[in-house]
Structure 1
Amino acid sequence: MNNPNSPTLKRSLSLKYVVFFGLAYMAPSTLFSTYGVAVHGTNGMISTAYIVALIVMLFTAYSYAQMVKAFPNAGAAYTFTQKSLNPHIGFLVGWSILLDYLFCPMISALLAGIAMKAYFPSIPMYIWIIIFIITITIVNILGITVAAKFNTAILFLQFGTFALFITFSIKGLLNGNGAGTLYSILPFIDSSVNAPDFMSVIPILCFSFLGFDAVTTLSEETKNPRKSIPRAIYFITIIGGVLYIFGSYFLQVVWPDYQSFKDPESAYVEIAMYIGGNFLASYILAEGIMSSFSSAVASGTSASRILYAMGRERVLPVKVFGYLSPKYRTPVYNILIIGGVALSALFLSLTTAVSLVNFGAFFAFTFVNLSVISYFYFRKKQRSIMGTIRYLIIPLIGATLTGFFWVKLDIHSLMLGGVWLALGFVYLLNLTKMFRQPPPELAFEEAQ
């Protein structure tokens, strides 16, 4: 049992800040940095690919929304599967989702370091990475309200980037640049598209939607979480999807010949220079660095709450992972650990980190969808016509889609993720004395 006099997470977030937090984690402006590689894989049907990714994510967002109503605790996917399916499966899902939250700050640090190195080539990249990690660690230690306000400010810079880019795009198109028209089917239809290549890009684009799930880790710091968190999940997914679809549409119509980029990884810089000169290119690069800060703060916050939920109930050592600062009411040790993991940006590649994150995300998404079926359809016997649609058919479609894309990940992702999962399984064996006793479970007073 927890000491009633020990510090607890503070309910201070309104729906507005939860939505901003999720969008900040999602960092919608990453559309620009991933565009060049993604548009090649989709053979130019980039907007259609984002529509498919949005549909896939909406099914899973639905399942997250249902489960958070039943279990408004900080453990998110870990809690959902633990309570609905099996404690051992819940542990492994929690273990896998840690890949997302632990490595996302590292990815942000690496992207920021690369960008700053381009601006200041005389300064070693590791200096920028260390400064970046120290900054996000301090922001997260100071508290959830500080982190939320920090993320909100940077998020509106991202909205400004989209508005500025679309304005320059429309001006260029009306002047006859690019496709020379505001209306084109190029980003949606291409008769020569290769279906397997097209589908292989969807998991990468789904990675861009990570953020809707992160807000479920804030349930214990949100006012009226059963109402606010489900709304936030839908808002975040839909707003992100709309930004990606419209942004990718204009990226392609202003530069239809996507195969002519000098470097696909920096294609957005060429496009920005083409339609807006040095001003737009510099603005997008600078804002990209700021959005890396925002995403890292959000993902670090989520990771620390997952570790806290697991530490509080002694799934992980409670003295470290279950500790809250009496002053800031934040899991300080967890935040420091996450900062330490983010330092792996000094030697790990971006490909390795993204591979691990994709594996953890799709593994957890699949089991959250299955949790809805187990909890509502079988345990709560919600088997009316509407109940069957809501608690069997919809989540089953979601589980099928995410499961399909999980097994379709590249061999690099599957191997690295499999090693991480195997390590979690070994730890689970030790924790449960070879399954002779159940793993510790999260406290559940609130959901009762």
Structure 2
Amino acid sequence: MASNTLGARLLRRKPVSSLIAESEGHGGVPSGAPEEGGRSGIHLRRSIGLWQLSSIGIGATIGTGIFFVLNTAVPSAGPAVILSFVIAAVTAGLTALCYAEMASAIPVSGSSYSYAYATLGEGVAFGVGICLLMEYGVSASAIAVSWAEYLNKFLDLAFGVKIPEQLSGAPDGTHWFNLPALLLVAMVCVLLVRGVSESVKVNAAMVGIKILILLLFIGVALTGFHSGNLTPFMPLGIGGVQVAASSIFFSFIGLDAVSTAGEEVKNPRRTLPLAIIISLVVVTLLYILVALAGIGAQPWQQFDGQEAGLAQILQDITGQSWPAMVFAVGAILSIFSITLVVIYGQTRILYSMGRDGMLPKRFAQLSPRTGTPVWNTLVVGVLVGALAAFIPLDVLADITSLGTLIAFSVVSIGVIILRRTQPDLPRGFKVPGYPVVPLLSVGFCVYLITGLHADTFRAGAIALVVGVIVYFGYGIKHSKLEQQREEQPEQESAVADAETG
């Protein structure tokens, strides 16, 4: 008989076989019967190939922070922000290898939430789900705020007009709310409601534009490169490098976004790990080149408070408006694609949690026409839009990093646990240097977590309290594993009656 203690219920794990069966639409539901929380026979469709999935990873990662993170990170580290990118990239690389193994072994939606459910238990999985919702929701808001800055820059350069100051920023003495950010979130949600296939095609096209404009920035910025801008290299010490690395780490969440598409990928055991590794290599090279070019082209003290910073650097170097205007247009299109991917990832995590009974059944419902979780998209759109309209950019960035680092740590720990508990589970990819690589991944994540600002931990604590209330108020009572636990004594009693009858 299953244990009824609180500890046992918090630590109960979902079998990998059940996760995979549900992802294929075979979650133990009789033919023709409606699925729990959903509609009969409706499940996510496998329509994404390797290059499309790599585009999701590149699209969610390049630009998640690079279009604005220099203006928040450089003041903390000076020219040594280049080392901050290296530290963040090493952490992301170690974690990417762990994600590749987990994604190939458990090719389902839900990302590290699903991986935690299979390895660390229900209580930890719900906590990770909250971190992921923080990670995706808050980062989408931060990205939308950056989009508003580049839109304003383009309108100024092209037409000599600007969005009214009251409608272009978080509330303070001057601003009321960020209207452009709100409009961006609304447009993305409309596209996602139409279907994932259309969304992926739009994203793949925009990824190409994004890479081209970043290469444009690197090429032009290097013409204005002055080695004197790199000295002193570390004016704020190693502590500043750590703070900057912690703040910019959210720029690597595209790796996580790849794994949220597990149920919509063709040949997932091969495609998922390859897409994660391709995404990591491309984005790391571009990030470091952009940081080096930007720091070389402009004294580090000028980055503080600079809006649409990369476009402004191009304008200052060339003395003309057209390079900055071209870059601003590219940034507007690119940031749209990033927002698209990040909101997409959050809706799939809510879908997985709803399917598991951890959230109300409504979150597990899919549209019979498009096969997309429409309700989730609407909920996410409202919440992300509200954050983007009313919360400052630097606060959003740090909260995103906290959620990302916690989720990444859990995945690395999950690799070790799954190797021990299910060594024979088929894996399309295995982490090299095991167990050193997963342990290093956890160590680097903890190091970056300690570099975050105190306000970030307060925001994280509030999110944790909300998560505890939701889990103990709803999730622990309605999860599918709880339903199975309650049904087991009835089944055992029926068997006993039959034997004695």
TM-score of the superposition, structure 2-length normalised? 0.78
In structure 2, relative to structure 1, the CA distance for the partners of 1:187 and 1:233 (3 Å cut) is farther
Aligned to 2:185: 133
Q: Kindly report which structure 2 residues correspond to 1:173-212, keeping only aligned pairs within 5 A, or say none.
A: 177-179=224-226, 190=233, 192=235, 194-212=237-255
Q: Percent identity of the aligned residues?
A: 23
Give the whole-Å Cα distance in 1 for the aligned partners of 2:193 and 2:474. Answer: 29
Q: Pick from 73, 97, 110: which aligns with 1:62?
A: 97
Structure 1 distance, partners of 2:231, 2:248, is: 15
- Determine the C-alpha separation between the residues in 2 that align with 1:436 and 1:329: 23
Counterpart position of 1:142: 194
- Residues 350 and 267 of structure 1: is their aligned pair in 2 closer, same or farther, counting only changes over 3 Å? closer
For structure 2, the residue ranges without an aligned partner over 5 or more in a row are: 1-27, 156-160, 169-177, 485-501
Which position in structure 1 is the counterpart of 2:492? none
Give per-residue Cα distances to partners, 1:227-257, cap 9 Å, x unaligned. 10111111111111100111111112233x3
Give the letter aligned to residue 60 of structure 2: Y
Q: Does 1:47 align with 2:99?
A: no
Give the 3-state SS of the residue equivalent to 2:68 in structure 1. helix
SS state of the match for residue 121, structure 1?
A: coil
In structure 2, C-alpha distance between the alignment counterparts of 1:371 and 1:189, rounded to whole Å? 42
Evaluate the alpha carbon distance shift between residue 397 and residue 410 of structure 1 in structure 2; reply closer, same or farther with a 3 A threshold. Answer: same
Q: 2:333 & 2:98 partners in 1: Cα distance?
A: 31
Per-residue CA shift, 1:146-198, capped at 9, x if unaligned?
1111111221111111222233234x2xxxx442xxxx697598365501111
Paired letter, 2:113 = Y
| Contact 2:81-2:244 at 8 Å conserved across structures | no
CA shift digits 1:339-397 (9 cap, x unpaired): 11122122222233223212211111111111111111455399xxxx99744211011
Structure 2 counterparts to residues 371-386 of structure 1, below 5 A: 371-377=414-420, 379-380=422-423
Residue 374 of structure 2 corresponds to: 332
Give the SS at the match of 2:233. coil
Contact 2:202 2:337 in 1 (8 A): yes
- 1:2-56 CA-to-partner distances (Å, cap 9, x unmatched) read 5374311110100000010111112338424222332232221232221221111
Q: How does the TM-score come out when normalised to structure 1?
A: 0.87
AA aligned to 2:367 is: S
- Provide Cα deviations, 1:99-128, integer angstroms capped at 9, x if missing partner: 112223322322223433453425544543
Which protein shows a greater Rg? 2
Structure 1 residues 149 and 106: CA distance shift in structure 2, 3 A: same
Residue in structure 2 matching 1:314, options 328, 335, 357? 357
How many matched pairs? Answer: 426
SS in 1 for 2:321: helix
Q: CA deviation at 1:273?
A: 1.1
8 Å contact 1:355–1:417 — kept in the other structure?
Answer: no
Distance 1:380 1:178, change over 3 A: closer
Contact 2:221 2:293 in 1 (8 A): yes
**In 1, distance between residues paired with 2:231 and 2:281?**
19
Q: Which amino acid aligns with 1:56?
A: T
CA RMSD in angstroms, aligned pairs only: 2.7
TM-fit CA distance, 1:436: 12
> Where in structure 1 are there 5+ consecutive unaligned residues?
442-448
- Equivalents in 1 of 2:352, 2:479: separation in Å? 23
Which residue of 11, 20, 25 corresponds with 2:60?
25
1:313 and 1:292, CA in 2 relative to 1: closer, same or farther beyond 3 A? same
